[in-house]
């Protein structure tokens, strides 16, 4: 569940401006699901976009030098990485998008499923009832694509524990020309690979067993509902009126240039009494922790706590400390020029 529609809308702005696809990490928290017995739900509070190479039909996530800082900020705010999101949008006329994913083609491609399994293996679910202390994963994949009405639509998925095992053991690979099919590799002198079977109906409605060469990847998928609450929530501030959000990092767009000048222009939109609102933004906090003009990373602990508890007084008190007073002077000098 996304706390509010603005989270995804801000993420999609990159595609709207460039036409290129985009990927990001979902940061949020896990809560008990009141409508599902023993159920859990991931509540997404923000999307962080790591460095990536993108085009109109490709997406490649790159190593992130800020990953440690982002994880540190999230942990201090009581958040964690709960999933990943990517776009697969082809524009049509009239503001519509093409619909080509579904039961007749594929929901996720074999390559996407293998990637999802890799991330689920990277973020396993802790479990006291197993010898390894881990079982399965709650990590989620969200694909933004076109639905049958040619509107932008989100679909959520996980892959099965069997798929996680196949990918962990490096025996499942994508096929070259059929995105809906994976392939279980064959044994070699160095590596024994047991046969993997699946059941399928033949044209006479008989259930037959087939070896997974190739393997329809829909057998490995689990649907996960994606939603937003009727009453929007906001761990981070929702800006209204003429106020603009701070630029999102790692976007190679002129409108998303992230430097001290854009930071100063952003902060100048707020009065001193609105300091908590101004800094209640994951991208603002990452910039504050990583900028070189006046390093603040070692001083941000009390501010994280103020944001986590929505404590206006604590945030205002932090803004009176010397390190932010000096930063405020630089901001004022920058905006006056």
**Omega prior to 214 cis, within 30 of 0:** yes
Q: Which pLDDT score, from 0 to 100, does residue 321 have? A: 92
Residue 69: C-alpha distances to residues 47, 170, 297, 309 (Å): 15, 31, 9, 21
Task: Return the structure tokens found at 184.
Answer: 């279980």
* CA-based torsion, 87, 92, 95, 96: positive or negative: negative
Average pLDDT over residues 35-54: 92
Per-residue confidence band for 201, with pLDDT thresholds at 50, 70 and 90:
confident
Average pLDDT over residues 28-50: 91
Phi, psi of 118 (to 5 degrees): -60, -45
Q: Which pLDDT score, from 0 to 100, does residue 129 have? A: 87
Q: What is the model's pTM?
A: 0.93
The residue among 201, 216, 200, 281 whose CA lies nearest residue 247 is 281
Q: Tens digit of pLDDT for each residue in 184-193?
A: 999 988 889 9
Rounded Cα distance between 70 and 45, Å, is: 14
Question: Which residues does 191 contact at the CB level (< 8 Å), separation at least 6?
Answer: none
Indicate if the pLDDT at residue 200 is higher than 90.
no
Q: Tens digit of pLDDT for each residue in 291-301?
A: 988 889 999 99
The rounded radius of gyration (Å) of the Cα atoms in the chain is: 23
Q: Which pLDDT score, from 0 to 100, does residue 291 have? A: 92
Can you list the alpha helix ranges (DSSP code H) found in 23-176?
67-76, 110-122, 161-168
**Residue 299 in contact with residue 321, Cβ under 8 Å?**
yes
**Residue 183 in contact with residue 174, Cβ under 8 Å?**
yes
Rounded Cα distance between 85 and 124, Å, is: 18
Per-residue confidence band for 337, with pLDDT thresholds at 50, 70 and 90:
low
Rounded Cα distance between 159 and 109, Å, is: 12
DSSP string, 179-218: TTEEEEPPP-SS------EEEEE-TTS-EEEEESSSEEGG
Rounded Cα distance between 303 and 120, Å, is: 32
Phi, psi of 141 (to 5 degrees): -110, 130
Q: Tens digit of pLDDT for each residue in 212-270?
A: 899 999 999 999 999 888 889 999 999 888 899 999 999 988 878 889 999 999 999 99
H or E element in which residue 303 lies:
helix 301-308
Residue 20: C-alpha distances to residues 9, 87, 97, 152 (Å): 15, 9, 13, 15
């Amino acid at each position: 569940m996304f706390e509010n529609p603005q989270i995804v809308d801000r993420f999609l702005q990159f595609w709207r401006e460039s036409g290129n696809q985009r990927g990001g990490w979902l940061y949020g928290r896990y809560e008990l699901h009141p409508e599902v017995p023993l159920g859990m739900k991931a509540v997404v509070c923000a999307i962080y976009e790591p460095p990536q190479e993108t085009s109109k039909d490709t997406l490649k996530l790159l190593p992130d030098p800020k990953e440690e800082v982002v994880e540190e900020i999230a942990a201090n705010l009581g958040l964690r990485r709960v999933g990943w999101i990517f776009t697969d949008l082809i524009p049509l006329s009239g503001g519509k998008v093409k619909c080509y994913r579904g039961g007749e083609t594929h929901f996720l491609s074999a390559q996407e499923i293998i990637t999802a399994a890799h991330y689920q293996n990277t973020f396993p679910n802790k479990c006291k009832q197993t010898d390894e202390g881990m079982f399965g994963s709650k990590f989620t994949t969200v694909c933004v694509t076109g639905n049958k009405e040619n509107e932008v639509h989100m679909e959520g998925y996980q892959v099965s524990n069997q798929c996680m095992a196949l990918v962990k053991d490096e025996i499942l690979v994508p096929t070259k020309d059929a995105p809906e099919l994976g392939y279980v590799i064959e044994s070699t002198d160095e590596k024994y690979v047991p046969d993997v079977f699946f059941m399928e109906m033949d044209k006479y409605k008989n259930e037959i067993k087939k070896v997974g060469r190739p393997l329809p990847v829909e057998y490995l998928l689990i649907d996960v509902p994606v939603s937003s609450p009727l009453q929007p929530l906001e761990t981070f501030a929702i800006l209204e009126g003429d106020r603009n959000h701070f630029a999102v990092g790692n976007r190679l767009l002129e409108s998303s240039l992230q430097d001290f000048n854009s930071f100063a222009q952003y902060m100048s939109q707020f009065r001193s009494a609105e300091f908590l609102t101004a800094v209640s933004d994951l991208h603002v906090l990452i910039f504050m922790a990583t900028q070189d003009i006046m390093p603040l990373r070692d001083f941000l602990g009390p501010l994280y706590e103020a944001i986590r508890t929505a404590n206006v007084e604590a945030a205002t008190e932090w803004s009176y400390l010397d390190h932010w007073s000096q930063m405020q002077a630089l901001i004022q000098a920058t905006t006056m020029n």
